[in-house]
Every structure is written in C-alpha cells, then in structure tokens.
Amino acid sequence: MTSPEATPGAAAPKNGADSAANPTPEPEPPATVGAGQSTTPPPATTTTTAAASSAPAPAPPTAAKLEAAAVTADDGVNPLDFEGSVDINHDLPTAETIRKIDNYTVLDRDGKSHTFRSLYTGRHTARRVLIIFVRHFYCGNCQQYLRTLTESITPPSLLALPQSTFICVIGCGDPALIPMYAEESGGCPFPIYADPTRRLYAELGMVRTLALGARPAYMREHLLKSSVHSVVQGLKQIRKGLALKGGDGKQVGGEFLFEPVPEKGGVVETPVGVGMPPVAWETKKDGEGEGNNTEHSQTSLDGKGEVGAGGEDKVVTWCHRMRNTRDHAEIPELMEVLGLDGNGRPVGGNKERWERALKERKGTGLSLAGRTSKEMGEGGTVV
C-alpha cells in the first residue's frame, strides 16, 4: 500500500479544512506601469532568490544519521541500538570507569560469581591480561574467531613473554552454555565467563548492531554454514531450557588489554602455574592435584581465585570496540599488541583478506610491549 505521505490526495482533507477557515485572498490587480518604467522585479527579490539558490548545501548529517537509527532498548542497559556499522570511537576507558566496574560480577561455567577485577589483577594473576568480549554464546562468527586465535596464540606462548600475559573471554549469555561454547570454539583453552546483564559491555562503550560488515580474515566458514551451525546449537539446548538464553543477539564486543599503571612499576608477580599444563590452571578443590597446597588450590592464573584479592591497580592501555558482528581485532594485530613474534596462521586461503589483516590496525593505545619496542628503537633504557 502506498504510504499517505507519498499520495498527494491523502493530504486533501487537511488542506480543505485550512481553506475553509482561511479563504484564499483575491489576487491584487497588476500595478499600472507608466511610460519608461521597467517591468523588472525589484532588486531585493532578485537578490533574495539568488542568495537562496547560491546558499551552500548543509553538511552531511553523519551524527544525525546515527541518531535517527538509534532505538531505546527495553532493558535500558545499552540505550543506543544502531542499524548498520557503528562509527564508534576506540577511546581508552578512564581510570574512573575501571574503578566503577571493578566490583561488577561475572559468572563462570559453574555459575559461581567473581568480581571483574579478579580477572585481571590479584595474587597469582598474570601481569597483563587481554579480556575479549564476544557476542552471544551461539554466535558462529565469534566461535570462529576464538578457533583462529587459539591456533596462533597459546597459553604457553603468553606465559613465556617477559611480562606474564593471559587471556580471558566474556560473553553475554547464560553461564550454563559456557561448556558448549568452549567446545564449539575449538576447545578454547582460555577461561570463559558470562555477563548476562551486559553492564560491563555498556560501561566500556560497546554497542548493539546486526550489521555484518566486511568478511574478516579470521572467518573460516561461509556465513550461511555458520548460521546453520548456530541454529543447530540452539536446538540441542531445548531440553535444557537454554535455547533462548544465548544472550542478546545484537550485542557486539571488543578487546581490552589491562596492564600495570606505567608510572608505578612495581614488583612483577610470577603467577602460579608457569610451565604447567592448562588443566592445572583451573581452580582445584583441596586434596586434588599434587602438593595439596590449600592456597594454590584456591587460586589460579585466570582470576578465579580471589583469596587475598586486591592486587595492583591496572589500566587499559589498548582497546578495540566492534563496529559490526564480524569486527574483532585481527590476529596479527593482537600478536603485535601482546608482543608475540610472527603474524599468526592464515586461514581460509583468501590472500586479499589476509593481506588486509596484516596491514589494518583497528584498535588504539600503546601496550607495554609497544612501549618497550618504541623505547628500544629510540635507544632508550627499559626499566
């Protein structure tokens, strides 16, 4: 059906009512033109018309376009819901923002709660922690991202860095889906947590969109195949009542690197578990594993252990926020930020996408590894 705005006759009733209330005035008789008088309209009219025609066109409404596409979320967590790729910034979160969210809660696969702060600082926690925020737990795009990431970035390679480094993953679905998500992500060796409230996403400036964006280098499967896999994963969870608890389908994530405050320095803590297999990094109950050490059995590299929690304050030195559903930072950029050698293992066989991934840098900031490289390049001394 044609919209009323597009049908001239649709506005007739309104115009007719206006005509009845305000009758059309009789046209004034033309002015008599005397001999020798010009019939040219007054200069003022010509000037006005010329000025109107020569007026510059208004600037493109870049911000207005985003505002027009914004929709208020029902839950009020992330008030801006964008359509299309979002022109967001990658400003580093302030220290005030970090302190505000330190005590926000995340849930592990067993439903146990942990403070967000415990993921990146405290006893037996790596000095540098990259926290990757993914989408919902049925997102095939993010699952492919983690599979590609873990082929190039392994826990042993991170712990072998001059500054011990680790990775945590946070999704926005039900924590009961974490085991399934880890398996579908290629047996992700990094700990995965859930933030069903999406409060962390909101405070850290991540937004909501369904735009696909360009296909990244880390994508292994065609979109259709990936979508089918996601549907199948959901169907398998019907009996458990988790089919609709994967998380907000429009929520997108990002990557945030937490490091010690540069000015403070401090003693580098050696985390428990260096050189141990990944299974040993998980929290153990008393009496399990070698040593039967009560303190070590309650703590781990991934921040689960909160005994003696506190630790040094840290800041985000590098970050990237997704603009669409396939916009995670590419693997070569992450390896560069973390100070790892190489560019990662190309996937998919698409040379053009891989070359773009090698050149493109999405995030902003300068990590500890980046500062070290810069100082060394300038002949400086690294303390």
Q: 339-364: per-residue pLDDT in tens?
A: 998 777 666 666 777 788 788 888 88
Task: Specify the pTM.
Answer: 0.68
Provide the 3-class DSSP secondary structure of residue 83.
Answer: coil
Q: Which of 46, 79, 271, 241 is nearest to 166 (CA)?
A: 271
Task: Round to whole Å and give the CA distance between 18 and 24.
Answer: 10
Over the stretch 230-250, which tens digit does the pLDDT of each residue have? 899 899 999 999 999 999 999
| Lowest mean pLDDT, pick from 53-62, 74-83, 147-156, 188-197 | 53-62
Q: pLDDT tens digit string along 93-119?
A: 999 999 999 999 999 999 999 999 999
Half-sphere exposure of 146 (CA within 13 A, CB side): 29
CA 248/CA 139 separation, integer angstroms: 10
Beta strands 254-260 and 128-133 are: antiparallel
- Phi then psi for 128, rounded to 5 degrees? -120, 135
Strand stretches in the chain, DSSP E: 105-107, 113-115, 128-133, 165-171, 192-194, 254-260, 314-321, 364-365
Highest mean pLDDT range out of 143-157, 206-220, 256-270?
143-157
- Domains delineated in the chain: 68-375 (3.40.30.10)
Distance CA 368, CA 36 (A): 86
Return the minimum-mean-pLDDT range out of 1-5, 187-191, 247-251, 321-325: 1-5
Cα end-to-end distance, the chain, whole Å: 72
